[in-house]
Amino acid sequence: MAEAKKSSTALAATWHKQDRRRHQRVKVNLLGRFMLENKREYPCQVVNMSPGGAAMIAPVSGTVGERVIAYIDHIGRVEGKIVRPLTGGFAMQIDATLRKRDKIAAQLTWLANRHVLNLPEDRRHDRYAPKNPFAILTVGGQRELRCRIVDISLSGAALAMVERPPLGEQVLLGKIRGRIVRHFDDGVAVEFAVLQTIENLESQVN
């Protein structure tokens, strides 16, 4: 029995190490609010985050194991539980579906690359991760490249892709005309030729 318990403990430790590697935390500065089990709301500031957890500065720390519901700028609603107290706040584990984790990962990727992209439309139009992030980028009117939309706005999109068309290249993202305006490590940024409307944006890119 003791050996079995020791083996179980070692397995759990290994799983937690793998989990930490899989969910790399990103330094952020996001404001929000959260609610503990007492149903009271408090302001918070998220200082680092991954699809599986977040560390936040908060006026109360709660208790380990306590349920948390948080609403975070650019991320939206997340739920989970407190896993450890921090000085001036706490760390929480996020309980979410795989789809929700993928959406959080896409938002964090955008936030991490935003200072690199520095696109003018970043300030003009809100960007968000679409429900279906997978799309086709047509280059030169004939070559089709698969890509993943990190985020999109009415005037442009950030795309994760292996091949990066040259700057200034005219492209089609789905049915939307645009051009390549930035390169970053894992993809490109596209500026749309015509400002889109929120009603037809997602239907035009997929």
Domains 26-115 and 134-205 fall in the same CATH topology: yes
Mean pLDDT of 109-138: 71
Domain 26-115 has CATH 3.90.600.10: no
CA distance 139 to 166: 10
Share of residues in the chain with pLDDT > 70 (%): 83
Bridge-partner residues for 14, per DSSP? none
Q: What is the pLDDT of residue 206?
A: 81
Please compute Rg for the chain using Cα positions. Answer: 20
Share of residues in the chain with pLDDT > 90 (%): 39
More confident residue, 113 or 57: 57
Mean pLDDT of 99-112: 84
For residue range 153-191, list pLDDT tens digits in order.
888 899 999 999 998 888 999 999 988 988 888 899 998
Q: What CATH number belongs to 134-205?
A: 2.40.10
For residue range 84-100, list pLDDT tens digits in order.
999 889 999 999 999 88
C-alpha distance from residue 152 to each of 17, 47, 126, 148, 197 (Å): 33, 24, 8, 11, 12
Return the domain boundaries, the chain: 26-115, 134-205
CA distance 16 to 116: 32
Q: Is the pTM of this model over 0.75?
A: no
DSSP codes of every residue in 63-121: -TT-EEEEEETTTEEEEEEEEEEETTEEEEEE---HHHHHHHHHHHHHHHHHHHH--TH
